[in-house]
Structure 1
C-alpha cells in the first residue's frame, strides 16, 4: 500500500525548475525542427524582439540600476532552471493562439512545463494511476474523439493533472512516478471513460526567480484547477488543451492566461458527492 506523504514542506521552485529543464532537454529536440530556418527569418524575429526591448528602455527611461537588476534576474532564472516555467507561464499562450488559429475543431491551450510522455496505458475505460486513498473528489469523465466531419476516431487521450494539494508527480517529492498520469486509447467508436479525482488550484513556485518577479510586480501566482490533455489520432492534428472547472476564482485572472470559454467543464454532482463530466474532442485532419 502506498503511503501518502505531504510534499508541501519539501517542494521547491529550484527542484521543480530543475526537473522541468531536464525534462525539456530529454523530451524535445527544438533545434532539429528549425535547422533549415532561413537566416532572414532568424534576423527578423531576433531583431524585432530586441527592438521591442530597446523601445521599452527608451520610453520608460530605464536606469542602469534597473538594467543591472534585470541582468542579475535573467542570470538567476537560468541558474534556477526556471526558463521553462517563465516561458510556459507568460509566453506560450500567444504561441499556441498563433499555431492553432486555423483549426475548425476543438480549442486548445498551453502544454505547460509539467508534461511527461509515456504515461501508463489505461485502455478506453479505466482509472488513472493513483495512490491508495488518493485525496480528492472522485471524478468520472466520459467523452468521444471525432473528426471535423463527425466520424469517430480511434485515438488517444493523454491525461495528467495536479493532485488535491496542487502538486504534480515527477515534479514534487514523495509522489509515485506516474501518479495522476495516464493514456486512454479509444476504440473504433471513439469513446472513452476516465476515473480520476478533481485537481486543486495551485500557485506556481514562488520561492525562485519567477516568484521574485511576481512579488516585485505585485502579481498573484495562481492557476485555476485544470486537467491537462493531449488528444491524438492518425491523420489528425495533435490537440493540446486544459479543461477548467466553473466557479474557480482564478478562471478570469489565470497567471498563465490559458483559460478559454470553450474549455470550461460542466460537472454534475452525484448523491455521494462524486462528480461526472461529459466533454468531447473534435480533431482537425492533417492537411496535405
Structure 2
C-alpha cells in the first residue's frame, strides 16, 4: 500500500476488521461445540510452545515486560485480526487443507466484508467512473472433482485498487468498490471485468508495524484477488489468486502464496489483461 495522505491507520483498519469479523461470527450459527478437553489440549500446547521459546532463547524480564506491553498495545489498537491473519492464519489453512480436495485454499485475511450485492455471471465489479489501473478480464468455470459444471456456484470476490487500498478500510474509497458476489451461469462460468490490483503494505503505524520494524521484516503483500467460491452441496473454498512475475510473490509477509494460485495474464484489448482460472469444488 503506497504511503499517501489517504493511508488508513492501523487502528482504523483494525477497527474495521474487528467489526467485520464480529459481524461474520454473529451470522455463523453452525459453529460446533468445543469440549473442555479440546480447549485444554490446544491451550496447553500453545503455552508449552511459549514456555519452550522462553527457555530456549533465555528471555529476560525486560523482554517479557516489553512483550506484555506490546500485547496490550495490540489489543488497544484492535489489531488482533491483522496480527493473526498475517502471522498465524496460513498455518491454520495448511492444516485444514490436509484432508480437503479441489482448488487450493489460502488465507481469508482481514479485509473481507460480508453481504455484498449479487452480480450476474458476466459483470463488471462496482468501481469509480475514473477507476485507475490496468483493465483485467477474469474468466473461468467452477467444476466439481469429476469435471462437471457446478450449477449455482457463486464467487465472492474482492481486492485492492491500483494504489493498494480496500473499500471499507480506506475512507477515500467508496463503499463496495471492487467487491461483489458473482453468480455463475448454468455451466458454472463467469466473466468479470475489473482492474489489476496493486501490491500493498499492511498498516505499519501500530504495534504490528513496530514488530516488523524491530525484527527487520518487510510489510509487503503481492498483488492478489480474494475469493470465496461456494455452491450448495459443496465445500466452499477461500483462496487468493496472484500474478506471475509480481513484486513480493516469493516473499509475502503473510506467507499465503502457492504455485497453484498464480495467474498468468495475457494481453487483452486496448492495454488490458485477461486471466483464466477454473475452480474445483469438493462435494460434501
Task: Give the TM interval when normalised to the shorter protein.
Answer: over 0.9
Gaps of 5+ in 1: 1-5
Decide whether aligned partners of structure 1 residues 194 and 34 sit closer, same or farther in structure 2, where only a CA change above 3 A counts: closer
Q: Is this contact kept in 1: 2:6–2:170, CA < 8 A?
A: no
User: TM-score by structure 1 length?
Assistant: 0.94
Superposition CA RMSD, Å: 1.6
Residue 180 of structure 1 aligns with which residue?
A: 178
User: TM-score by structure 2 length?
Assistant: 0.95
Give matches, 1:137-152, under 5 Å: 137-152=134-149
Q: Is this contact kept in 2: 1:144–1:191, CA < 8 A?
A: yes
Residue 243 of structure 1 aligns with which residue?
A: 241
SS in 2 for 1:234: coil
- Post-superposition Cα deviations, 1:179-236, rounded to whole Å, max 9, x if no partner, equal 0001110121111100000000000000001000000000000000000000001100
Cα distance in 1, alignment partners of residues 238 and 247 from structure 2: 23
Residue 86 of structure 1 aligns with which residue?
A: 83
SS in 2 for 1:22: helix
Cα distance in 2, alignment partners of residues 20 and 182 from structure 1: 18
SS in 2 for 1:193: strand
SS in 2 for 1:101: helix
Structure 1 position 118, deviation (Å): 1.3
Decide whether aligned partners of structure 1 residues 268 and 10 sit closer, same or farther in structure 2, where only a CA change above 3 A counts: closer
Runs of 4+ in 1 over 4 A off after TM superposition: 29-35
- Post-superposition Cα deviations, 1:75-110, rounded to whole Å, max 9, x if no partner, equal 000100100000000000111111122222110100
The structure in which a higher percent of residues are strand is 2
Structure 1 position 8, deviation (Å): 3.8
Cα distance in 2, alignment partners of residues 242 and 34 from structure 1: 24
Residue 124 of structure 1 aligns with which residue?
A: 121
Residue 220 of structure 2 aligns with which residue?
A: 222
Decide whether aligned partners of structure 1 residues 40 and 31 sit closer, same or farther in structure 2, where only a CA change above 3 A counts: farther
Cα distance in 2, alignment partners of residues 150 and 172 from structure 1: 40
- Post-superposition Cα deviations, 1:53-95, rounded to whole Å, max 9, x if no partner, equal 1111111111111000000000000100100000000000111
Gaps of 5+ in 2: none
Q: Is the deviation greater in 183-192 or in 70-79?
A: 183-192
SS in 1 for 2:99: coil
Which among 9, 24, 28 is matched to residue 25 of structure 2?
28
Residue 210 of structure 2 aligns with which residue?
A: 212
| Aligned residue pairs, count | 281
Residue 37 of structure 1 aligns with which residue?
A: 34
